[in-house]
């Protein structure tokens, strides 16, 4: 992004353009680097699409494409899948009416001050936070398994996320504590707290965008009520964090600017 193309955005909001771009990038770029997909990666891909269909609060046109992808994957019982076949569904060559995925990515609140910063990894975090929050609010019966979204995220990251170092770190964090997540609110908080551990680890690292320093999130200006102090020690008010995340990632608050 050059300075003239910079898109103004509100740092306290989530943008659908970033979320749709994460779908574009994950399905077309990352999954697209695998010419054939089978075994665990295929199961991981199916689980990822399933949580998107169930919990992604996307535009109707995008949801129709995701549904068509899910039914195609379900009907595909061959143990091996060719990406070229999947691509035909992504391009909607199966001709589901009014179904489409965006055909490019466009970062908004995930814009970086330089092309190597932010973008896709930022949007992938945003997508999965949103999915944990949506699962916690879902009216699906039966009530979702608290690990459903987290496992889908872990599977996706493990098999497709192109940052292999990130995948290794995330896998070890998950191995330590993810199995203890025993409720939907705890799945939201687990991902929030793991992301903060990553933020702390990466503060000052070469991958940090100097215009978007890593902080413990949400900082006090975004959520004053989330922070407490006792005898000079900072602590998080977990109930307030949960309320904040529910509001921040709620479908009604997602901004639709800069969509095609
Ligand atoms: P990001 O950390 O990407 O966050 C995106 C947005 O989410 C922020 O702008 C903010 O609005 C919001 N946010 C921030 N913190 C939280 C939180 N705790 N809860 C909810 N929302 C929050 N990079 C490496 O160099 N090494 C790694 O090991 C590594 N591991 C990664 C593991 C995963 C699973 C992912 C998805 C990414 C990883 N990355 C890693 C990339 C790194 O975490 C950032 O995504 C990248 O540096 C871009 O940072 P960013 O400033 O856009 O903010």
CA 229 to chain centre: 31
CATH of the domain at 75: 1.20.120.310
Q: Left, alpha or beta for 119 (phi > 0: left; psi -120 to 50: alpha)?
A: left
**Residue 245 domain-assigned?**
yes
Q: How far is the CA of 88 from the centre of ligand 1 (A)?
A: 31
**Residue 226 domain-assigned?**
yes
Residue whose CA lies nearest to ligand 1 atom number 31: 166
In terms of residue numbers, what domain contains 222?
3-253
Pocket test for ligand 1, best of 125, 129, 172, 175 (most atoms within 8 A of CB): 125
**Residue 144 domain-assigned?**
yes
**Residue 135 domain-assigned?**
yes
Residue whose CA lies nearest to ligand 1 atom number 15: 217
Strand partners, 235: 228
Nearest to 184 by CA among 149, 146, 152: 146
- Please identify, by atom number, the ligand 1 atom nearest to the C-alpha of residue 195: 18
Residue whose CA lies nearest to ligand 1 atom number 19: 192
CA-derived radius of gyration, the chain:
18
Strand partners, 229: 234
ipTM > 0.95, yes or no: yes
Which pLDDT does position 77 carry in this prediction? 84
Inter-CA distances, 226 with 5, 162, 202, 237, Å: 35, 33, 22, 5
Pairwise CA distance, residues 177 & 227, whole Å:
24
Which pLDDT does position 101 carry in this prediction? 95
Q: How far is the CA of 135 from the centre of ligand 1 (A)?
A: 21
Q: How far is the CA of 68 from the centre of ligand 1 (A)?
A: 30
Nearest to 192 by CA among 254, 144, 244: 244
**Residue 260 domain-assigned?**
no
Per-residue exposure over 19-52, b if at least 16 CB sit within 10 Å of its own CB, e if not: bbbbbbbbbbebbbebeebeeebbebbbbbbbbb
CA 239 to chain centre: 23
CA 169 to chain centre: 17
Rounded to two decimals, the pTM is: 0.97
* DSSP strands (E only) in the chain: 36-38, 80-82, 227-230, 233-236
Residues with CB under 6 Å of ligand 1 are: 110, 118, 121-122, 124-126, 129, 157, 163, 165-166, 169-170, 192, 195-196, 198-199, 202, 205, 207, 209, 212, 217
Pairwise CA distance, residues 259 & 16, whole Å:
7
Specify the number of domains making up the chain: 1
CA angle 185, 189, 193 (to 5 degrees): 170
**Residue 258 domain-assigned?**
no
Which pLDDT does position 76 carry in this prediction? 84
pLDDT in tens, the chain (260 residues): 455 689 999 999 999 999 999 999 999 999 999 999 999 999 999 999 999 999 999 999 999 999 999 999 999 888 999 999 999 999 999 899 999 999 899 999 999 999 999 999 999 999 999 999 999 999 888 899 999 999 999 999 999 999 999 999 999 999 999 999 999 999 999 999 999 999 999 999 999 999 999 999 999 999 999 999 999 999 999 999 999 999 999 999 999 999 98
Strand partners, 227: 236
Strand partners, 80: 38
DSSP string across 110-127: T--SSTTSSSHHHHHHHH
Pairwise CA distance, residues 1 & 118, whole Å:
11
**Residue 85 domain-assigned?**
yes
**Residue 259 domain-assigned?**
no
- Please identify, by atom number, the ligand 1 atom nearest to the C-alpha of residue 193: 18
């Amino acid at each position: 992004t050059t300075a003239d193309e910079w898109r103004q955005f509100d740092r306290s909001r989530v943008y659908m353009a970033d979320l749709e771009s994460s779908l574009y990038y994950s399905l077309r770029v990352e999954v697209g680097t695998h010419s054939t997909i089978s075994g665990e990666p295929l199961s991981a891909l199916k689980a990822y699409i399933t949580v998107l269909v169930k919990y992604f609060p996307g535009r109707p046109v995008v949801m129709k494409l995701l549904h068509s992808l899910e039914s195609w994957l379900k009907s595909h019982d061959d143990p091996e899948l060719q990406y070229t076949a999947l691509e035909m569904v992504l391009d909607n060559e199966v001709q589901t009416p009014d179904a489409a995925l965006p055909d490019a990515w466009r970062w908004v609140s995930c814009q970086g001050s330089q092309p190597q910063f932010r973008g896709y990894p930022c949007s992938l975090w945003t997508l999965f936070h949103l999915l944990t929050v949506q699962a916690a609010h879902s009216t699906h019966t039966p009530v979702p398994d608290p690990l459903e979204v987290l496992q889908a995220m872990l599977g996706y990251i493990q098999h497709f996320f192109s940052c292999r170092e990130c995948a290794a770190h995330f896998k070890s964090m998950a191995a330590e504590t993810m199995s203890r997540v025993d409720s939907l609110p705890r799945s939201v908080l687990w991902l929030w707290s793991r992301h903060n551990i990553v933020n702390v680890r990466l503060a000052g690292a070469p991958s940090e965008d100097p215009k978007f320093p890593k902080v413990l999130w949400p900082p006090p200006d975004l959520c004053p009520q989330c922070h407490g102090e006792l005898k000079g020690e900072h602590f998080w008010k977990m109930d307030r964090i949960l309320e904040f995340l529910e509001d921040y990632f709620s479908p009604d608050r997602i901004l639709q600017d800069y969509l095609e």
